[in-house]
Amino acid sequence: MSKYDVIIRNGNIVFEHSIKKGDIGILNGKIVEVSSKIDELATASEVINAEKLYVLPGLIDIHVHFNEPGRTEWEGLYTGSRSLAAGGVTTFFDMPLNSDPPLIYPSLFKVKKNLALEKSMIDFGILGGVVPENLNYLEELKKCGVIGFKGFMSNSGIKEFNYLDDDSLFEGLKIISRLDSVAMIHAESEVITKHLSTDAILDKRLTAKDYVESRPIVSEIEAVDRAICMAEATNCKIHIVHASNSEVVERVKIGKRRGVDVTVETCPHYLSLTVENLKKQGAIAKCSPPLRKKEDVDKLWKSLVDGDIDIISSDHSPCLPELKDRSEKKNIFDVWGGISSAQSTLNVLLEEGYWKRGVKLELISKLTSANPAKRFGIYPSKGKISLGSDADLAIIDINKSFILKKEDLLYKHQVSPFVGRKFRGKVIYTIAGGHKIFENGNIVDEGYRGKLVRKKV
């Protein structure tokens, strides 16, 4: 008779290429058995009946802005990680730029790490910044434990986090290549976006449509092409973040065919919202790159189904509600650009993908779990349901319908363009490190804390 910490019985287990009915045994934070049937006499501290439910590897969100230390009033590691857990996420990577000061020097790494160990309810990776003035510190940041580096090719919106000119980008990629790390690149052309935005503001063209036109698709294409060429010349692994359209994905495909080690992500808002949402909802739906047309959303889904998109992450980018205020003294260019969506990634993918477009759960899981784990060197500890893997799981009711309400959101400010939307497919349980931390809308283990994850050597 075996003793487990947790047994999950009768679940539909989602593997990378199949779904099979079975049981999962968990002990000391690890998956120790995956079988069609665990002995009925086996005992456990907790048994979860997952009959009619689907068991996925916990999601890995490699792109969130939790802003701590320094801007915790925007979002914090505690509130942000609780919200992710409610969305089935069991690991996240925190971006460096919205902390104050931003994480661009090694002395700041320990501060963020200790805060995350104290406050985060799930496992976490920490990203370092790459800016023109910190290139000599990248190696030390890697030694501290950053899991990758984030850089901007256009204005970041944070004055302490400068964008990379061509010389700095090339030199940064050379160093990151030598460190065998990954450069995550925000690819919009500074020249194009700066000139078009300046012209629009001077001409008092200040509507949602004007904002979108000031950051056209070509500004992404130009920057992506440049980044891929530099990555090819420096033999650096790069990851293009938040592609808003299929034309960017096509440029990444071209780079891959040339042998460049490049991947691309998109986000739930680019797969479900359009410029019409920005017009109707205002600044709550403002982001950068901006939302595109409906036909761009449809084409992006085709790229996803065709296997050309590598990763989906939330790009949860919250702020104080007043920074989203559009009073008479502010125009659409003035308000903060970022969408709060930490909790909604899986809901959007299930509703818009699984239900409306017939996208397989295996593919959704691959894009949100296995692929990010592989890209950043933490697979198969993360991103897979297999013997010896971390017991990080999202258990969902694929048929459960609900309307998202503000009070359902667990992050700091209950602001989201998805509030009021009807979704099918709901997270019922989230298990992190073998601990059930979320159940039926509630955090049930407030005491559990995550650990730092780093690339396996």
The 10s digit of each residue's pLDDT in 122-151 is 999 999 999 999 999 999 999 999 999 999
Please give the structure tokens belonging to residue 241: 């973040």
Residue 231 in contact with residue 238, Cβ under 8 Å?
yes
Q: For residue 328, is pLDDT > 50?
A: no
pLDDT in tens, 379-409: 999 999 999 999 999 999 999 999 999 999 9
Is residue 457 classed as helix, strand or coil in its secondary structure?
coil
With b meaning 16 or more CB within 10 Å and e meaning fewer, what string describes 136-168?
A: ebbeebbebbbbbbbbbbbbbebeebbbbeeeb
Please give the structure tokens belonging to residue 447: 């005491």
Question: Distance of CA 133 to CAs 162, 165, 175, 210, 252, Å?
Answer: 8, 11, 14, 33, 28
pLDDT in tens, 145-155: 999 999 999 99
Fold of 3-55+390-443: Urease, subunit C; domain 1 (2.30.40)
Rounded CA separation 346/364 (Å) = 8
**CATH 3.20.20.140 for the 58-375 domain, yes or no:** yes
pLDDT in tens, 93-106: 999 999 999 999 99
Question: Distance of CA 347 to CAs 13, 206, 342, 407, 422, Å?
Answer: 18, 33, 11, 16, 9
The percentage of residues in the chain with a pLDDT greater than 90, rounded to a whole number, is 95
What are phi and psi for residue 89, nearest 5 degrees?
-90, 135
Rounded CA separation 447/37 (Å) = 31
Q: What is the pLDDT of residue 456?
A: 78
Q: What is the pLDDT of residue 457?
A: 65
What average pLDDT does the segment 273-302 reach? 96
Residue 317 in contact with residue 338, Cβ under 8 Å?
yes
Residue 208 in contact with residue 279, Cβ under 8 Å?
yes
Residue 157 in contact with residue 67, Cβ under 8 Å?
no
> What are the CB-based long-range contacts (under 8 Å, 24+) for 443-446?
443/82, 443/85, 443/86, 443/121, 443/410, 446/121
Q: What is the pLDDT of residue 2?
A: 79
Question: Distance of CA 134 to CAs 98, 139, 140, 144, 397, Å?
Answer: 16, 10, 10, 15, 46
Enclosing H/E stretch for 352: none
Rounded CA separation 125/281 (Å) = 33
Q: What residues form DSSP beta bridges with 316?
A: 64
Q: For residue 29, is pLDDT > 60?
A: yes
Residue 369 in contact with residue 383, Cβ under 8 Å?
yes
Residue 353 in contact with residue 364, Cβ under 8 Å?
yes
What are phi and psi for residue 318, nearest 5 degrees?
-85, 170
Domain extents in the chain: 3-55+390-443, 58-375
Q: Which amino acid is at 123?
A: D
What average pLDDT does the segment 217-239 reach? 98
Question: Distance of CA 446 to CAs 65, 69, 438, 457, Å?
Answer: 22, 21, 9, 32
Q: For residue 1, is pLDDT > 70?
A: no
Rounded CA separation 189/217 (Å) = 10
* 141 CA to centre of own chain: 22
What are phi and psi for residue 150, nearest 5 degrees?
-115, 130
First CA to last CA distance, the chain: 37
Rounded CA separation 33/352 (Å) = 33
Please give the structure tokens belonging to residue 386: 């297999």
Q: pLDDT band at residue 314, thresholds of 50, 70 and 90?
A: very high
The percentage of residues in the chain with a pLDDT greater than 70, rounded to a whole number, is 98
Tell the residue number behind the tokens 């702020």, with chain if given: 319
Q: What is the pLDDT of residue 323?
A: 87
Residue 172 in contact with residue 183, Cβ under 8 Å?
yes
Q: Identical fold at 3-55+390-443 and 58-375?
A: no
What average pLDDT does the segment 241-257 reach? 98
Rounded CA separation 417/281 (Å) = 7
Q: What is the pLDDT of residue 266?
A: 98
